[in-house]
Amino acid sequence: MKTRFAPDRGLSRRMLVTSFLLGLLYVGFVALLIALTESAVLAVLIAGGALFVQYWFSDRIALYAMRGRIVTPEEAPQLHGAIDRLCALADMPKPRVAIADVDLPNAFATGRNPKNAVVCVTTGIMRRLDADELEGVLSHELSHVAHRDVAVMTIASFLGVLAGLITRFGLYGGLSRNRDQNAAVVVLTVILVSVAVYAISFLLTRALSRYRELAADRAGAMLTGRPSALASALTKISGDIARIPSRDLRQAEAFNAFFFAPAISGKGASLSSLFSTHPPLETRLDRLGVLSRELGEQA
């Protein structure tokens, strides 16, 4: 699907490379599991079913978990109006529009493709942002839909889910019940391989997640022509999130990779940034500042 969102070849390359590497990792992982133990086949089938559900029903799962509901133009005329304008500007199909009744100021996009996408905003973000800032956030989320990176992230996270399931199965099931030394060695090998696969897939998907946020910032700001509005929204949301109770943030942390701004994040560039779903706020603001100057020079 071609849209007027600025193409990002760097994002396309990273999605392709990440998917390829995870695919190789997955094939080798499954081959080893099947060679070591027949019980792994059942785990793979279960995980495959989980992937199917996650991929085909990711929009419904996310909305249910965030207490979001689809809203009509009559229920949210300003929100629909902003998305209508942006979709017309981007020349892309309009996604379904949803609102989550939570105070956490955030937004996310989900869905397996642009025709089955949902853009959801929280009541918290709608109360805090002005029209230009909210439009910047919506443009950011729509660029995720246009670039199809939401679907890629859903698929990319599958291997980590599979490895986690295998690890739990081995720790709480096979290892405790297998007193035979050979069987215990097999189960322990499976667990160690699963842990290694989980760690690699975790780092690959987090690296892709950080880059896709920068790509969405740039594409969204270029579409609206107002990087400063998006930077203002980022600053305001990040500051307000810091005042949200930690308990509420932890409940939403599982959706960090899909949020506009992370519910819980590290500060600055450190080892913890390798495990974060988003680049540091300072990096995002710096990039938007550079883009603002570039657009100013062209004007």
What are the binding residues? 140, 144, 213
In angstroms, the Cα distances linking 57 to 39, 40, 67, 112, 284 are 27, 25, 15, 8, 31
| Annotated catalytic residue within 75, 133, 141, 282 | 141
* 74 catalytic residue (yes or no): no
Q: Are 213 and 143 in contact (CB under 8 A)?
A: no
Measured distance CA(229)–CA(86) in Å, rounded: 15
Measured distance CA(138)–CA(3) in Å, rounded: 15
DSSP secondary structure letters along 59-99: HHHHHHHTTEEE--TTT-HHHHHHHHHHHHHHT-PPPEEEE
Q: Residue 85's CB: how many other CB atoms inside 10 A?
A: 14
Measured distance CA(274)–CA(36) in Å, rounded: 32
Helix ranges restricted to H, the chain:
9-36, 39-56, 58-65, 77-90, 123-128, 131-147, 149-169, 175-177, 181-224, 227-241, 246-252, 281-298
Question: Quick one: tokens of 68?
Answer: 């979001």
Q: Residue 17's CB: how many other CB atoms inside 10 A?
A: 12
Instruction: Cite the annotated binding site for Zn(2+) by residue number.
Output: 140, 144, 213
Q: Are 195 and 69 in contact (CB under 8 A)?
A: no
Indicate which residues carry an active-site annotation: 141
